[in-house]
Each structure stands twice: as C-alpha cells, then as structure tokens.
Structure 1
Amino acid sequence: MDKRRNKYIWLIICSMASFFTFASSSEGMNYILIAVMGIVPILLVFQFRAIANRSTSLVYAVFGTMLLSSLLHSDAFRIDTILYSLMFIFTFVYYCYLVDRTPLTVDVYGKLIVFLLWAFFVTMVCQQICAFLNLPIVNYRVGDQSTFKVNSLASEPSYFGKIVTLLMISYITIREVVSGEKYKLSNGFKQDRTIWIIFLYQMLFCGSSFALILLAVVLFKYAKITLKSVMLLAPFVILATTVLGNLDLVVLERVLKIGEAILTLDENKIFEADQSGAFRIVPTIYYFKQVSFFSPDFWLGAGIDHTKNVMPTLMASLDEHDFAVGLFPAFIWDFGLIATIVLLIFVFRYGIAKDSKVDFLIWLLIVLDAPFNTQLFWITIMLMFSNKFFRENADVEEHQQKKENEVFITKSYSS
C-alpha cells in the first residue's frame, strides 16, 4: 500500500512541476496534469476521510470565499474556472492525505527532489546545445530562442528558476532533517558539491533576472558570509560574470534598471526599464492607485477575471489581448481582501515554518506572477507543505528523545 501511495506522490509532484510541449495545447494547457487531476476525485471517493479531514479545512475556506465573490458578480461567473480551481484543491487535499498517511519518508522525498533537479538540469543543457547548434529546441515553448534563455521542463523561462529554487530549498530541508542541524553552505557545499553546481548553473544561466534575485535570497538564508564561503562562491561568480559579460550584461542591467524605476513608482519608467518585469509590478501599482477602501469590491472582490479584463484597458498601448496578472494583485482584485486574508492564513498554516520569515519571502517572490489556477502556485504550496511536514516531525522526534533521556537520567539518579 505504501509503495502505491509513494507512486501517487511521485506522479502528482512530477506532473505539477513539469511541462511537456508534446502533451499540451497551444494555449499552454497541460494535458498530463489535467489527466492526473481528473483521476484524483475518483480516488477521493474511496478515501472520504481525506476530503473531510479537519487539517485541510482551510483550503475549503479559501474556495468558499472565492465562490462567494464569484456569485456576487454573476455576470462574470465562469463555471470552468471554478471547476479548475476545485481540481487543484482536491489534488492538494489528496497529496496532503498521502504524505500524512503513507507516511512520506525522507528517503522517498529526497530521491524525488534529486530526480527533478537533475531532470531540469539535463533538459536545460540539451536545450542550450540545440540552440547553439541551431537545431530544433527540445520541449521549447516560449522565449526568444536564445542559448541562455530556455524553459527546461517549466511552462516558461520565468518559471524555470523559481521551480529550481523550490527544489533546492526542499533538498536542503532534507539535509537538515537527516543531520538534525542547521544547514551551512560552507560545509554543505563540500558534501553536496554536485547538487550545488547544477543548481548554480541553472540559476546563473537560465537568463532570468528574477532567478538572480531568488539566488541571492537562498544564499542569504544558508550562507554565513566568511572568507571560506566567499572563496567557495568566487569561481562561480567569476564564471557567471564572464559569460554574462559576453552577453552584454543584459540580465544584470535589467535587474538594476527596473530596481531604480520601481523606486519612482512611475509606470512609464518601469516599462521603459524592463517590459517583462513591468507586467509583474505595474498591475500592483495600478491596483493601489484605483482601490477604494469603502467599496464592497475591495472587501469581496470584483469577480472572476476582473483583473485580466481591466489590465488591457489600462495598458492599451501594449496591445496585450491576453494579459495574465500574477497572484497579487489579481487575487485581491478579483476576490477581495477577505479572501486574500484567508489565503494567507492557508499559506502560513501549510507552507511556512514558524521560525522562518525568509520562507514567506521566497514564497511571495515565487508566486508573485503565478495566478491561483497555475502549476507554479500549487507546486510551491505542495513542496513547502512537504518541507514543513518533515521539519515538524523531526521536532516531535527530537522532543520525544529528550523526554526519554530525561526519564532515563531521572531513573539513574533515583536508583
């Protein structure tokens, strides 16, 4: 039974993390993921306890607030969007059930994470070789067909670095649980040199400015800045600088330019600095400029796809007919502040460790441009839930061991 459940866990995580062009539509519909999520409700029929589990009740509260907002704006009500949300929610509920009931072991989870890290790395290298040799790029979906801007197994290049960041954090979490100690880059790099090399390669050479920001956060979280750690990272920094220098420092220039433009809060300057980055930042600026705290829409939302429909009007000069806004401000604009608060409670309950504010920052950076009904949003929640599951179990085991030791010492002295 446990082996079968482990296979289900692998299937859910792999289908949620990856995207294959041969099994998708031109609009980006992932047929493999839809097939997996379509099977889950059937499996849940035989596991009613998973649906009625109190520990997953918060996710139903999130859906309830979303449904309320949708019903209040019946003109914008879309049953297909509601059903798609339910598919993601039921898949998450079933995944939580599998992790808790199997229970998921560090060994199984570790092999899954390492497998995905290598799968993303190998696919990326194959894509870069194809681009360099002017051959058809394997699993290519969107981008400029640049040698250093590929999507690997992600649905698009901007998601690539985010998923790899999640996988690396999950890997480090496993190492911490196994060792019982906080992970230190200075020592960890020696033990996990190969994993760190493929991680750094993917983050530095995926061509995403956001990946560099996430890399900086990860290094800040795990690296104690010492002479030793600087010497370990120096070769990679020099290599990255050399390669990026040959590419006219495009990625670094984008990071610096858009950083300066954001400080001005001027939409036009942000677009001039980096149009791609502006799609993630400008909608939030528009939202705060237009929001009214006394409007019912502020609290209960303006209805499904309101943000998606209103943004082309605000950005008419860009001629974006199918503009997709990320989780923020789309979620709060569409479903309101109440639903957003419930969503944040859900995220903290399932994915954020109590003693790690950096985890929330990483989550926020990753889902900033990932709407609710996307693979990126839900793979983030699932992996962070798994990481928290192992941390909490490790804490419980450590607490029990301490109590057993105290009892043993007490008996020894009393005798």
Structure 2
Amino acid sequence: MIFNIKKTYFNLFLFVYSVCLSFAFNDSAHNILLIIFMMMSILTLAVYRFFTRYDLQIMLFIFCILTFPMLAHDNATRWSTVTYSILFCLSFLSFIRAYISSSISPDDFIITLQILIYSYFVVLFIQQVSVLAGVAPINLRNYDVYEPFKLNSLGAEPSWSGRIVALLFYCYLTVRETKLGRAYSLSKDVRQDKWIWLAFLWTMITMISGTAIVFLSIVFVKFARLKSILIVIIIAMISLTTLESVKFEPYERAKNVLIATISLDERKVIEADHSASFRVVPLMVLAKSVGVSKFEDYFGHGVDSISEDLEFNLGPKATSSSFFGVWYEYGFIAFIIFMVCSIRMTVNSIPSFIFWFFLVFMTGLNIQLPWLAMMCLYICKDMEKKYKGKAIF
C-alpha cells in the first residue's frame, strides 16, 4: 500500500477533532494538541489554490465576529475568544480542501470511522477493566469516584463520548448505504457488521451516560422507514420496558431531564441532572434573552457578555452554551449567516438535522464537537450526492 500524504492529512483532521487525550490539556482545560493542529492546518490554506462554495459565507461570518465587537463594544472585546473562533473557522476551510484534494472514497471514510469507533470501545474497555482491577484508568478525565464506571473513554467526559460515538456510527451507517446503493437493512446487514455494532452498543450502554442513551435512540431514528417502522417500534418498546423495569440510571437521568426541560423550569433541570444542566439551562435562559427589536440583537452585546449579563439560576455559566450564545454576543446577523451555511452544508435528512441540532446548534462555537459534526455530516452529504443510487464494489 502506497503512503498517501493527502489522505493521511485528512484522517489526521478527524482524529484530532474526535478525541480528547488527557495529556494534551493544560491547566485551563484547553486542548493544546487541537490548538497546535488548527494553527498548522491554517498554514496549509496557502497550498490549496482553489475556492469552495462555502468560503464566502464562512469568511463573512468571520468578518462579523471580528468587526461587530469593535463597532459596538470596543471596550468589552476579549480578543482571545474571537481569535479562537476564527481559528476554528479557518481550520474548517482547510479541512474542506483536504477532503476535496484527497479524493476520499466511501471505503476510505468507512475505514476511518471504524478505527475511531473501535478506538473508543477499546479505551473504554481498558478503563473498565482497570476500575475492576483497582488500577488507575488511562486517559481519565472528569472522573467521579462515587460513579466508578462512568468513564470517558477518548472523550472529555462520558456524555461527550456518547455524542461523538453516536455521530461516528450514524455516519458509518450512512456511508455504508452509499456504498450499498440502498437503505441499510437491520435484517440483512447487521450480521456482516456485527463487530462494529457490538463495539458501538457496548460503548453507548456501558459508559453510564444519560446523554449516550439519548443519542443511541437518535441513531435508530435512521431506521424509521415505513418498511421497518414496526421493527423499530417493537425494539423501542422492548428497550423502554426493560430500562424502566431495571431502573437503568442513565435512562432515568435522561428521562428526568427531558421532563424537567419540557416544564421550562431551570431549577428542575438542575435537580434532575446537574451535569446535563450545563448544556440545557444556558440554552433555556439564552432563548429568552435574544430578540430582533434592539440594536444589540443585531450586532451583539459583546464578547463574553453572557457570563456578565445573564443569571443562570445557580446553574453553570458558559459563553458557548449554544448558538443562541453567538446570537447574544455577536448578534442576529452573524448567527443567521452561520446557521444557513451550516445547514446547507450538512443537512439532507431528518436524522442529519437532528444531529446538526444537538451537536452544532445546541453546542456552540468554540469547542471541537460542533466542528467535528459539521465535518462528518458534510462528508456524508457530499458522498450521498456523488454516489446516489450507485452500488460501489
């Protein structure tokens, strides 16, 4: 096999954005490996002498987040935050060029996804064995000794890993469909993919994360077609009945958070699951705080203004709690530019929209997860468009 530097560079993007290695974080919880890689990837933009259809939209978004704080809130601008956002944007443009120039095939992408999913499984399994043996687990982050089997695998925390593994597996199924030239069949194709299914289910169920259980169900939305809807409903009913009867803790937490969120009561969300409240409560508060009637609604309240202006009801504070945070800090104009661009780039089905909503819109700007989601969903959409209706052997 001939070494292909372009494909290796493309795979390096997915690896760096998919994992959180404990040794790569500094005392401020910044992923130094990711930051170094983003800076290096930006340098390669000069190598690619072509433009893509999304360049203008992303550059326009960069222009907004760069100029709006200066025009409206010069004294309140924290430029390190803006610079970090721009790093993500430019690195993403470099990724698109790496993907296009490397001529990645569905088979190539499937192999990369398999390696990443198996890696999450193997690291989690080693961590679980280590806990049983009383040995310090590898790559441990955000660990609670009172919940010894709630382990993070290759993610920053269990809920992070649950979201990433679900995304990777959804993309695996989608690209497998592209390769097969037909819809993925639970009755026909699972036997051939039994090992990757085992790795996926083991990781999602045994990492003890309510978020992982939620995303496990989202993956199965992909199979909610008319021909298989009965099978999906039966599996869902059996699973829910089993989880209710055994009082599976991650399921109970996910259910309680959902009920509390529907009530629109921030305190109930915090009481239901303090960890989940770090994502849900800021979203609820920000949704009530944005609008289109004032100057600040269009040009933002200033960088990092969320932590200064808003009360999160004893919950967490985060400036990137969702893309409502971008709306609040940079204004509706920057917000809508990014929303339109990211949706056009990634969404072509109900499941892809669900993943976009939870992993991009609800996550925020200055962390790697939404950018990984955009990378993977973009590839899936592009490959579906290229190979639609064609079986690839």
Same fold at TM > 0.5: yes
Q: How does 1:27-66 map to 2 (within 5 A)?
A: 27-49=28-50, 52-66=51-65
- The equivalent of 1:402 in structure 2 is none
The structure having more radius of gyration, on CA atoms, is 1
For residue 361 of structure 1, what is the aligned residue in structure 2?
354
Structure 1 stretch displaced more, 198-207 or 359-368: 359-368
Tell me if the contact between 1:280 and 1:325 (Cα under 8 Å) persists in the aligned partners. no
Number of corresponding residues: 385
Quote how far apart the aligned CAs of 1:368 are.
Answer: 5.2
Separation in 1, partners of 2:237, 2:132: 27
The answer on whether the counterparts of 2:204 and 2:212 sit within 8 Å (CA) in structure 1 is yes
Structure 2 Cα separation of the partners of residues 148 and 225 of structure 1: 34
Q: 1:229 to 1:187 in 2, by over 3 A?
A: farther
Please tell me whether residue 298 in structure 1 is matched to residue 297 in structure 2.
yes
- How far did residue 357 of structure 1 move? 2.3
Per the TM alignment, residue 152 of structure 1 is displaced from its structure 2 partner at its CA by 0.9
Query: Shift in Å at residue 181 of structure 1?
Result: 0.3
> Could you tell me which residue of structure 1 aligns to residue 120 of structure 2?
120
CA distance, structure 1, for counterparts of residue 356 and residue 237 of structure 2 = 25
User: 1:104 aligned to 2:97?
Assistant: no
Match of 1:343 in 2: 338
Partner residue in 1 for 2:212:
211
Which residue in 1 is equivalent to 2:328?
333
Which residue of structure 2 aligns with residue 262 of structure 1? 261
What secondary structure is seen at the aligned counterpart in 1 of 2:30?
coil
Structure 2 CA distance for aligned equivalents of residues 233 and 261 of structure 1 = 22
Query: Could you tell me whether the CA contact under 8 Å between 1:15 and 1:32 is conserved in 2?
Result: yes
Q: Which moved more, 1:109-118 or 1:188-197?
A: 188-197
- Give 1:259 shift: 2.2
CA distance in 2, matches of 1:85, 1:273: 32
- State the SS of the aligned residue for 2:143: coil
Q: Alpha-carbon deviations, 1:57-89, whole Å to 9, x = none?
A: 221122222223322222222222222222222
Offset from partner CA, 1:118-152 (integer Å, 9 cap, x none): 10110111111222222212101113143431111
Query: Which residue among 360, 365, 372 is the counterpart of 1:379?
Result: 372
**3-state DSSP class of the match of 2:331?**
helix
Cα distance in 2 between the residues matched to 1:111 and 1:272: 42
The separation in 2 between residues aligned to 1:38 and 1:220, in whole angstroms, is 37
- 1:269-284 to 2 correspondence within 5 Å? 269-284=268-283
List alignment gaps of at least 5 residues for structure 2: none
Q: Are the counterparts in 1 of residues 155 and 161 from structure 2 also a CA contact under 8 Å?
A: yes
Partners of 1:326 and 1:368 within 8 A in 2: no
Query: Equivalent residue for 1:10?
Result: 11
Say whether residues 1:144 and 2:139 are aligned partners: no
1:182 is matched with: 183
| C-alpha distance in 2 between matches for 1:271 and 1:233 | 28
CA distance in 1, matches of 2:135, 2:267: 38
RMSD: 2.7
Deviations 1:297-342 (A, max 9, x none): 222221211223334x443x45x5x645422431221122222211
- TM-score normalized by structure 1? 0.85
Deviation at 1:178, TM superposition (A): 1.0
In structure 2, give the amino acid aligned to 1:389: D
Q: Distance in 1 between matches of 2:369 and 2:161?
A: 10
Quick one: distance in 1 between partners of 2:7 and 2:67?
Answer: 36
Alignment check: 8 A CA contact 2:142 2:157 kept: yes
- Aligned with 2:347: secondary structure? coil
Q: 1:265 to 1:132 in 2, by over 3 A?
A: same
Q: Which amino acid aligns with 1:348?
A: I
Q: Contact 2:360 / 2:374 at 8 angstroms: preserved in 1?
A: no
CA contact (8 A) 1:19 1:155 kept: yes
Consecutive unaligned residues of structure 1, counting only runs of 5 or more, are 400-415
Shift of 1:220: 2.1
Mark the CA change 1:393 to 1:334 in structure 2 (over 3 Å): closer, same or farther.
same
209-218 or 264-273, larger mean C-alpha shift: 264-273
Deviation readout 1:271-315 (Å, 9 max, x if unpaired): 22222222222223323434454221222221211223334x443
Alpha carbons 2:10, 2:102 under 8 Å: kept? no
Q: Which amino acid aligns with 1:220?
A: V
Equivalent position SS for 1:191 = coil
Per the alignment, in what secondary structure is the counterpart of residue 342 of structure 1? helix
TM-score in terms of structure 2 length: 0.89
Deviations 1:7-57 (A, max 9, x none): 1001111011111112221222222222211212222223243xx444422
Cα deviation digits, residues 324-381 of structure 1 (max 9, x gap): 542243122112222221111111221112xx12211122122355321111011111
**Alignment check: 8 A CA contact 1:283 1:329 kept:** no
Distance 1:239 1:114 in 2: 31
The code of the aligned residue for 2:156 comes to S
Letter in 2 for 1:74: D
Q: Which residue of 1 aligns with 2:92?
A: 92
Aligned CA distance change for structure 1 residues 142 and 369 (closer, same or farther; 3 Å)? farther
Distance 1:252 1:231 in 2: 16
8 Å Cα contact 1:2-1:102 kept in structure 2:
no
Conservation of the 8 A alpha-carbon contact between 2:17 and 2:372: yes
Shift of 1:195: 0.9
- Other-structure match for 1:388: 381
SS of the residue aligned with 1:153? Answer: coil
| Residues in 1 aligned to 2:312 and 2:363: alpha-carbon distance in whole angstroms | 20
With over 3 angstroms needed to count, the CA separation of the structure-2 counterparts of 1:240 and 1:117, relative to structure 1, is: farther
- Looking at structure 2, the residues matched to 192 and 229 of structure 1 have their Cα atoms a distance apart, in angstroms, of 22
Which of 117-126 and 85-94 deviates more?
85-94
Cα distance in 2 for partners of 1:369, 1:125 equals: 29
